[in-house]
Structure 1
Amino acid sequence: MMWRALSADWLKIRGKGIWFLAFLGPLGLIAMQGLNFGLRYDYLRGQYREDLWGGLLSEVVPFVPIALYLGGTLICSLIANVEHQTSAWKQLLALPVSRTAVFMAKLLLCLLLLIVSCLLLSAGTVVLGLLLGFGAQPIPLADVLRIGFAAYAAAMPVIALQLWLSLSSRNQTLPVSVGLTLSLVSPFGVYFTEWMPLSWPVLAWSDPRPWLFSGAGLLLGLLVILPGAIHFARKDVD
């Protein structure tokens, strides 16, 4: 049932600007670093001459949590608004598909769109490095993939919470405000205690135990999904 709901949701997002948003975040981040290196090329190349790829990744990393939280917030909100704006919840939930399947389909759609964004970020980073002339040094493919996907796993609790809030409220002011606040605070996550989930995307890159924070994000994300799905299944719809 969930796959049927996912197929329907996949068709619904056509022409809604959601795909544009999924592409905009990583491409905008890469373009910003292209400008950064373009304006300070000699200085940055000299500073990172021993490890040019590592230097490029270190310049990208601080902005990844912002892009993930803000992009996840807007994608969740737009996916929920497909039903909110057309008042289609009653018709959707009257179909022979369980509410839990509807919730999980929208969650999976959001996660898939963010996976596309992470892949674009990794691919764009490689392309940017090659354009900057870093090809003489070997490309650290594992780190290039980790730059997006480790933070993505660590950010799972916030993404799950954002979808829960977006689906539960017809007025998207609260979920968008929460997501915007978290995205603005996220660059300072390195100064928070490691027990605070907001710091996990940063620690998933910088900590000696990155797997710990990515794993914790996945686990807590699952724990947030469970009450979110239960609440959605029991909630009255307009």
Structure 2
Amino acid sequence: MIDKFREDVLSVVDRVHDGASIAVGGFGSSGRPDVLLDALCELDRRDLHVYVNNVGHDFTGVGRLLHEGRLRRVTASFPILQEFYDDYFAGKVELELVPQGTLAERLRAGGSGIPAFFTPSGAGTMLADGSFTLRYSPEGGVAEHVPAKEHRMINGRQYVLEEGIVADFGFVKAHRGDRKGNLRFRLSARNFNPLAAMSGRHTFAEVERLVEVDALHPDDVHLPGVFVDDVLLATRAAADQPLMERSAS
């Protein structure tokens, strides 16, 4: 059996290099892989490009990466943290704003080997016509725009071409996982996690509980282990618990 469980998060995340792109699961703090994100800070990784639904509302998770100046670009739908916009308009971080459904489909497409797809979301808007500011200069002027995207009329409706996302790494958090990397998410914490996992060339999963390989019923597996490279326990509190459970719930 291939055992993907690792005890040392820093040795796993050490493979993430400066300048890497990372697809991050979670919606706000729900299902957010904070142990993995904190490890990036402990390892002093910088110049990162994150694909994430939202930056968050405080200086935890992706917000901590922002606060410590570790982000080069954010591809997101809801970067609601005010300090993010302060850095964005000061030219310290780039923003690619993407409709939420489009972001989810771009992650899924990249993980499924689909290079691009047409969608009506965003067609004809500044998100697709080349007028949205990707990066400001430190002086406050526009330094670079998001490139214009291909538009096409299909059955009388305008569509825009969006590219699938293939990130260098995927960071996800699951409720339960086994040593083969099969994952089960809990309720709304599933959110972007399976998609982020699929889109990463190398995916790390932190789990609240590590279970035996036969503990998860096939119908309870939300993400098969083929998409996961390494499994870690999510919290120190979880690390103090027995490593194996027999419950399949």
TM-score interval (norm. to shorter) = under 0.3
Structure having the higher strand fraction is 2
- TM (norm. structure 2) is 0.24
- TM (norm. structure 1) is 0.25
Structure having the higher helix fraction is 1
More RCO (CA 8 Å, sep 6+): 1
